[in-house]
Amino acid sequence: MAAKGTGFSWFRFVVMVLGGLVLLFIVAPLLGMFIHTPLSDVAHTATESEVTNSVWLTIWVSMAATVVFAIAAIPFAYFLARNNFPLKKVVLGIIDLPVVIPHSAAGIALLGIISKQSVIGGMFSSLGIELVGTRVAIAMAMAFVSIPFLINAAREGFAMVPEKLEKTALTLGASPFQVFFTISLPLAWRSVVSGLVLMFARGMSEFGAVIIVAYHPMVAPILIFERFNQFGLKYARPVTVIFIVISLLVFIALRLIANKKIKND
C-alpha cells in the first residue's frame, strides 16, 4: 500500500480524468470555433461599424449598469450580512430569483413595468421619455439578471469582517457611515470587487432579457443571434470570436486592476 502523499492513487487519477473531461467540454467548442474561423473573416468583420458599435455598446452599458446599481446593492449586501430579521430567507431567495428563472421571462417581467401601458413606463412616456428599446432598458435587463452575483459576493465578504472591529469603532465615536467606509468596505473589498466584475461580465453576456426589452440598439449577443438567423454559422462565427476576445481582454484587465488595487491597499 502506498504511503500517504506518495505513489499512485486511483482516486487522484479518476479526479484528474473527470476534471480533464470537464475542461475539454468547456474548451473544445471554443477552440473549434476559433479553428474554423479564418483570420481574414475576423479582420473583415472587425472593420464593420455595426459590429464595433455593438460590442462597445455592450461593454459600456454593462459597466454603467454595474456602477449605478452597485450604489444600492453594496450597502444592501452589508445590511444583509449584519442583520437578522423576519423573512430574511425569503429576501435572500428573492435576490437569487433572477438566476433561476428563464431570462426571457425576466425580460417579459421587465417589459411589464417599463412599457407605455405600465405605471412607471406611462409616467416616463408622459414626459416624452420612452424606456423600451433604449440603452436604459438594456441596462435594466443586464442589471436584473446579474445583480445577484454582486449582492451575494459582497454579503459573504462583509460577513467575514470581524464585528468587534466595527463595534469598537462605534464605541470610540465613529458614525455608522464612517465604520462602513473606513472599516467594513476596505476589509471586504476583495469580495466586493469580485462581485462587481462578475456582475459586469454576466451583464455583458445577457441575451434573453435584453432581446425582449430592446432588440435595437443591438448589443453583441443579439447581433450574433441575428447574423446566425439570417446568414448562418459562417457569418455568426467572426462576430462571436471578436466579442469573446474583447470580452476576455476587458475581463482580464478588470481583474488585474482590481488585484493591483487590493495589493496596494
Domains of the chain: 45-264 (1.10.3720.10)
3 or 85, higher pLDDT = 85
pLDDT reported for residue 1 = 44
Q: Residue 140's closest CA among 167, 118, 168?
A: 118
Non-local (6+) Cβ contacts of 246 within 8 A are 55, 59
Q: Residue 199's closest CA among 81, 62, 92, 74?
A: 62
Q: Is the pLDDT of residue 228 over 50?
A: yes
pLDDT in tens, 15-48: 999 999 999 999 998 898 889 899 999 999 999 9
Q: Is the pLDDT of residue 240 over 70?
A: yes
CA angle 148, 149, 152 (to 5 degrees): 75
Q: Is the pLDDT of residue 136 over 90?
A: yes
Task: Report H helices in the chain.
Answer: 10-35, 39-46, 49-82, 88-100, 103-114, 119-126, 135-159, 163-171, 176-179, 185-187, 189-204, 208-213, 220-231, 233-264
The three cell numbers locating residue 246: 474583447
pLDDT in tens, 161-204: 999 999 999 999 999 999 999 999 999 998 999 899 999 999 99
